[in-house]
Amino acid sequence: MAQPLLARIQQRDPQGAIDVMAPPHIAPVFSAMTEVCQVITAPNVHGKLELGRRWKLARELRRERYDRCYVLPNSMKSALVPWLAGIGQRIGYRGEGRRILLNRMHDESGGAERPPMVEFYAKLALDPSDPIPASVPDPVLMRHRTHETVTLARFGLGVDEPLIVLCPGAEYGPAKRWPTRHFASLAAMINADWPEANIVLLGSSKERQLATEIAALSGQPIKNLCGETTLDEALNLIAQASGVVSNDSGMMHVAAAYGRPQVAVFGSSDPRHTPPRSPHARVEWLHLECSPCFQRDCPLKHTNCLNGIAPSAVFESLRKAMRFETSGPPR
């Protein structure tokens, strides 16, 4: 979702070089953006101050003499390193306790509705007094065809064989995860309708148990690759997919940035806030009275927002997505 911001920065300063500092678990995504010259892997652990590490990293950045830094997370800790590094312009949203750390601050929208995140990030390239842009191009990631072919071969998948990728995880919490039994039913429908397709379960090692349960419940010859790929390999597989079904997750945004036919299942979150930005994406969301709640676990203990999304509905959406029939923006 940050790629359009980088594109706008490059457009406004074509002679400038853009480096990105990112944690290891998302660094490969930034490496797939054409605007990025170098990705600096940040060693900090989420939620920990680790002042010594941040000070060491700041000293390394100071030697590079950066002119500007755009701080995307809203935490105080994320703005600390650019301040310690003495970077001249430190740009970001006001966030928590950052009045001293940032010197070009944007105010978050005061409205009840959360703005779309792509536009929210892209605004950082503008003057703080400018409104959030009404229209921003969709995120795009760069493909590496040779790497994709190597990754397919490594996991026994043919280049000319149809590939359907199912991503059952959502690190935020259970209120964003479509039930395993629904994923299993969907896999059975896909296999019955398209027996020549390879069905792959993709995610981190944290999703391995979910994927194992889906494969067992489905009774289908599914490849469970959760925890077996690097993030680079996961990107390569998604880029090659004929269709992708996911929760509202990072994998959803990757599939959209590669323009793959996809269905995104939303529960506690809001597709108006973080939609899959692609003309080949469809969204399944019940928009219940209690949704979106943005909670990690269902506060009402029923998770009807996800349980009520039938596998047959997702299957039909996938078929339409693969015929490039779009459903329009969520409302």
Q: Give the confidence band of 135 by pLDDT, cuts at 50, 70, 90.
A: confident
What pLDDT is stored for residue 97 in this prediction? 80
Q: Which of the two residues, 218 and 49, has the higher pLDDT score? A: 218
29 φ/ψ angles, rounded to the nearest 5 degrees: -65, -45
Residue 131's contacts (CB-CB under 8 Å, 6 or more residues apart) are 123
What pLDDT is stored for residue 114 in this prediction? 72
CA–CA separation, 136 and 158 (whole Å): 36
What pLDDT is stored for residue 113 in this prediction? 66
What pLDDT is stored for residue 133 in this prediction? 80
Q: Give me the domains of the chain, ranges plus CATH numbers.
A: 3-125 (3.40.50.2000), 145-322 (3.40.50.2000)
What pLDDT is stored for residue 327 in this prediction? 62
CA–CA separation, 195 and 162 (whole Å): 10
Query: pLDDT digit string (tens) for 199-215?
Result: 999 999 999 999 999 99
Q: Which two tokens stand for residue 266?
A: 């939303």
What pLDDT is stored for residue 176 in this prediction? 96
pTM value? 0.92
Judged against a pLDDT cut of 70, whether residue 282 lies above it is answered with: yes
What pLDDT is stored for residue 111 in this prediction? 52
Judged against a pLDDT cut of 70, whether residue 40 lies above it is answered with: yes
Judged against a pLDDT cut of 90, whether residue 49 lies above it is answered with: no
Judged against a pLDDT cut of 90, whether residue 291 lies above it is answered with: yes
Do residues 247 and 265 make contact, with C-beta atoms less than 8 angstroms apart? yes
89 φ/ψ angles, rounded to the nearest 5 degrees: -105, 125
CA–CA separation, 311 and 223 (whole Å): 20
Mean pLDDT, the chain, integer = 93
